[in-house]
Amino acid sequence: MNAYIYAYLAFGVLFGLATFGNRHLFSEGPTKSSDQSPTIFDGRGFWVSLCLFWWPVMLLTGLNTAIILARRRKLATISSK
């Protein structure tokens, strides 16, 4: 049983490290926020600790954003023709 827990947590850390650069796609939608004053919540450590336990939810929100962006691209190509 402990191996499953360790695997879950390890995948969460790896997911957090891999998605840090694109974290705007997992919470605020497809556009990056223009926050002028960085806070403690903007750091890599916070993102990894958040993904440590919540990576399944973050994965679903990332998939939702990917679907929204695909629809926008499809509409843009249809309207440009």
This model's pTM is above 0.75? no
User: Higher model confidence: residue 39 or residue 4?
Assistant: 4
Residue 36, token pair as written in the block:
């002028």
Q: Write out pLDDT tens, residues 17-50.
A: 998 888 778 765 555 555 556 666 678 888 899 8
**pLDDT value of residue 56:** 93
- Give the integer Cα–Cα distance in Å for 41 and 28: 14
Q: Say yes or no to pLDDT of 7 above 80.
A: yes
Residue type at position 11: F
Residue 58, token pair as written in the block:
């973050």
Residue 8, token pair as written in the block:
């879950």
